[in-house]
Amino acid sequence: MLKKQLIMEKALELFSEQGFESTSVQQITERCGISKGAFYLSFKTKDELLISMVEYYLQQFVTDVDQVVRSSLSKDIILVEFYKSIFQAFKNHAASARVFFNEKVLLTKKELFQKIIAYDLEMSKSIVYMLEQLYQDELHETKYDVMYCIKGFMKSYSELFIFSDIPLDLDQLAKSLAEKTEIIARHTTIPFITEELIQLTTKPCNEEFSQESLLELIEQHLVGSEDSIERESLELLKFQVENPTYSKPILKGLIENIRLQPDYSWVAYVIAKYFNI
Amino acid sequence: MLKKQLIMEKALELFSEQGFESTSVQQITERCGISKGAFYLSFKTKDELLISMVEYYLQQFVTDVDQVVRSSLSKDIILVEFYKSIFQAFKNHAASARVFFNEKVLLTKKELFQKIIAYDLEMSKSIVYMLEQLYQDELHETKYDVMYCIKGFMKSYSELFIFSDIPLDLDQLAKSLAEKTEIIARHTTIPFITEELIQLTTKPCNEEFSQESLLELIEQHLVGSEDSIERESLELLKFQVENPTYSKPILKGLIENIRLQPDYSWVAYVIAKYFNI
DNA sequence: TTGACAAATGACCGATTAGTCATTAGTATA
DNA sequence: TATACTAATGACTAATCGGTCATTTGTCAA
């Protein structure tokens, strides 16, 4: 478990410096101070490493965003906090941002393409949820356009973090983008992204988490963890997925128990979706 | 000259399908129906092919944008036309867009990194010029932020062209984004991208075209062309670069003579910059 | 038909790659 | 200490890569 982590970290450094294809397994193992054989004890292939990394780092990002969006922050600061957390993440994980937001070699590998699109979709959903909370019915026609604008702001301004290391005032940046978002939301009258268009773009890769795949995911997280409140909560949740008996508040509480532990935040996120919480 | 074109086209297809590193010279030559040796008659290395492609396709894009921006279109339609031309380009050249806007392996190769950043900078300048024409002094504090927003809109909405081939209403899209731009420009009060910040981000790769490198560029375009009004104009312009004697209107006329010929549009663009026209 | 030249070929080369596996080192139990 | 087991090694392989170059093909004028 720790070896995997080490490999992923060092590999991330190298990928962000040279790209995925140009980095050899040899180089990775050298930087880790392990042998080539040891690498293949942790990952079956080089591609499997990449897939694990995508899952690990994008899950973090998506759950981070979702946590801010679903927090109970007051309406007048939530946008600012949203942007602050996003760019904080870009700042702290500039390397992974470089790899996963720019190196789209990833997109030529079919399996990864699906995965990345799926994570992007999750983030889009979080943003739309935030907009619905903020503006209710005021922008039902244009909410997807506003979501696209927010994603555009992220893409454009993230360059400042990815391509240079100029010290930046995150508060000011967040305030500036929050204002822009507010302005766009309040004044846009000509929508382009319709509900129907969203359906079309997301149709092909819409596979929701089935009960089966969710149980598998939970099982994966159970095998590698020692006894704790979190583990117990997760076990209870597993039984609830198989046979729901508890009420929503209890489920919500159990999910809350594990949400804050980084190792569990993704599985918490998925379970919450499963139970519509 | 024609062979090069063929190779670049077929290579673009393959790069857009599999990425640069995963595409072998063998594959390229097979798709072209030529031998491996023939490839190396046109390009010294695989990297040189990539550099040529970046220059060829990004030059087209940048000059396209600049042409709309500097056109004499009336103020109330220029934004719409700007977006229309951009997304028309994305639609027509989805393959090259996939490669050059997404595959940032390119950015790990130092020489290409500089080039791509430079082209991006040229486009940014065009956009700022447009904003200055449109809004004069009304937004001197926020014009760089508006520019960043425009680039964000482009990045975000271009996904619709790159990752799917849903038929889209370009007019409606252009109108929608023009409105958004107008709204942002009129209402933004909290700037983030200051003049100083722009200086910082562009400082490292600021090399303007020197007289020498410009002459070299012109020479390159002269060797491969047959006699024509355009060629004569370019020759005259070459002498003017070496020893300026003509007045601005004459220079402008000569540049106009060659601007519309695709092969010359980039050199026309650079000469115009050189003479501050 | 010949000869001179350029264009095009593809077998070949050294280098590098992802992935394997016989072997060794390390550790816990008896 | 002896035994049994896993963790870790790195020399090795087969395949593929970018790039070369002796050779062949095609195209002219003489």
How far apart are the CA of A102 and the nearest CA of chain B, in angstroms?
6
Q: Answer whether B188 sits within 8 Å of A177, measured CB to CB.
A: no
Chain-centre distance of CA A260, in angstroms?
15
> A23 beta carbon < 7 A from strand C?
yes
Asked if B187 has any chain A CB less than 8 Å from its own CB, the reply is: yes
- Model pLDDT, residue B140: 76
| DSSP at A21 | T
> Which chain A residues are within 8 Å of B17, Cβ to Cβ?
108
Residue numbers in chain B where pLDDT is lower than 50: 205-206
Nearest residue in chain A measured CA to CA from B158: A152
- Written as six digits, the tokens of B248 are 């601005």
Whole-number Å distance between alpha carbons of A269 and A249: 16
Run of H or E including A108: none
Distance in angstroms (rounded) separating the CA atoms of residues B221 and B122? 21
At A145-179, the pLDDT tens digits run 999 999 999 999 998 988 776 778 899 999 999 99
Please tell me if residue A22 touches chain B, with a CB cutoff of 8 Å: yes
A47 touches strand C (CB under 7 A): yes
A87: closest CA of chain B, how far (Å): 14
Q: A91 touching B, CB under 8 A?
A: no
**Contact: B163, A117; criterion CB under 8 Å:** yes
Q: What is the pLDDT of residue A217?
A: 83
Residue B277: closest CA among B118, B48, B70, B62: B70
DSSP designation for B210: P
Task: Among B176, B182, B193, B198, pick the best mutation site for testing chain A contact (most A Cβ within 10 A).
Answer: B176
Residue written as tokens 């086209």?
A: B9
Nucleotide nearest to A46 (CA to C1'): C18
Name residues of chain A where pLDDT drops below 50. Answer: 205-206
Residue A202 sits at the chain B interface (C-beta within 8 Å): no
pLDDT of residue A149: 98
CA of B212 vs chain A CAs: smallest distance (Å): 30
Whole-angstrom distance, CA of residue A143 vs CA of residue A140: 6
**Per CA to C1' distance, which residue is closest to C17?**
A24
pLDDT given at position B207 = 54
